[in-house]
Structure 1
Amino acid sequence: MSQPAHAEQDGSDDRPHRLVVLAGPTAVGKGTVSAYIREHFPEVWLSVSATTRSPRPGEVDGVHYHFVSTTEFARLERDGELLESAVVHGRNHYGTPRRPVEEALAAHRMALLEIDLQGARQVRENMPEAFFVFLAPPSWEELVRRLVGRGTEDEEERTRRLETAKVELAAEAEFDVTIVNDDVRRAAEELVHLMRTH
């Protein structure tokens, strides 16, 4: 499982790192926590998922997601280029390009993968040595408030996502540790601390 650490010339952490997988229910704030880490902890490498869904306002291709066509996504799956892939909310395809993750770990970087529950389960099959973190809301009421408040889904989509969220919350026991996202900065700092110590 763990390999001997190799010293690095730039003085960065020379211990081998495990891939850290962050998952949790829809609207819990996984993307917000990841964005905070991207901005404040540049030493953390964040995986960029591929998806067939359309960009939301402010999302940048190659930074937040690789936005690809359904045809291109099918090719990535067929060629074994995805560490995991899933259809989320019965509609859009999401997947994690395999090679960048492997390269980041080989370079002894702290690597973070933010994905949904289905994807996390596939990663557990493909990389059982990874460390799995569940991001939980302070309460169900707060989760509903966040989903409604962001205003990016219509009523039908919100209902579908809340049904999905109930299933996702029930999977918390499958994870190594839970972080409650009651404050983005605190949750992000707790996650980075876990990455440094695991």
Structure 2
Amino acid sequence: MVISASKNALARRGLLFILSSPSGAGKSTIARMMLEADPQLCLSVSVTTRPPRPGEIDGTHYHFIDEATFHQLVEDNALLEWAKVFGHFYGTPKAAVKQGLREGQDFLFDIDWQGTQQLYQRAEGDVVRVFILPPSLEELHRRLRGRNTDSEEVIASRMARAQDEISHWDGYDFVVINDDVESCFTKVCQILQSERMRRARQTGLIDYVRDLMNPTDRP
């Protein structure tokens, strides 16, 4: 499913679309599918202090920086949100996101509940929060083992963290169970499309309705 913009689309303010889930529940897969299907959506590229994984490109997947640089960004209030996860720091640069929102750009965030909470506190009206649940903890454990990227110790740590993350489900606007990736993807896309149509985000509506109702401007 490829989503195309309408030729008659009104000017609108962009939005911050958050996907959160326990590790292994599918948010990264859904995020990748959305980015491939929707040219109006771009990934918010976070800064992080963790080393790049195989295949990751600096500036595309993350901005990889050292801890001293990260702490300076925090001190300068240059991050919309930040958190420490599994021993590494992650954060969202503020300037590029604020500019993009004004220009109608939608940003996709693949962040945890801590980052979501911070982002919502700072940009409440621009934020849409979606939490993805696994069909069961047993299935979540199976998916984590199926990656073949983590030790049993790391998997156990992720499972323990998963239950804590799931406990914050009620801090989100929408909750979707990922028992089938295609179905989950469709539901999340429907949420995005609906949120784009909110009256408050369509900044071009006032002029459009004014012209529509003014008979002197009609041919």
TM-score (norm 2): 0.79
Alignment match of 2:100 (pick from 101, 104, 111): 104
Specify the code of the residue in structure 2 equivalent to 1:33.
I
Q: Name the structure 2 match of 1:77.
A: 74
- How far off is 1:152 after superposition? 2.1
Deviation at 1:56, TM superposition (A): 2.1
Aligned counterparts of 2:29 and 2:161: Cα–Cα separation in 1: 20
Identity %: 38
Tell me which of 32, 38, 45 is aligned to 1:41.
38
Q: TM-score, normalised by structure 1?
A: 0.87
Identify which of 108, 117, 120 aligns with 1:121. 117
Q: Tell me the equivalent position of 2:169.
A: 172
State whether structure 2 residue 22 is matched by structure 1 residue 29.
Answer: no
* Contact 1:47 1:100 survives alignment (8 Å): no
Q: Secondary structure at the match of 1:45?
A: strand
Aligned length: 188
Aligned residue in 2 for 1:153: 150
Give 1:95's aligned amino acid: G
Q: How far apart, in 1, do the equivalents of 2:159 and 2:171 lie?
A: 20
Larger radius of gyration: 2
Offset of residue 155 of structure 1: 2.1
Q: Which runs of 5+ in 1 are unaligned?
A: 1-9
Say what the alpha-carbon RMSD is for the aligned residues.
1.7
From the superposition, tell whether residues 30 and 72 of structure 1 become closer, same or farther in structure 2 (CA, over 3 Å). Answer: same
- Determine if contact 1:26/1:161 at 8 Å carries over to the other structure: yes
User: Which structure has more helix as a fraction of its residues?
Assistant: 2
Deviation, structure 1 residue 44: 0.8
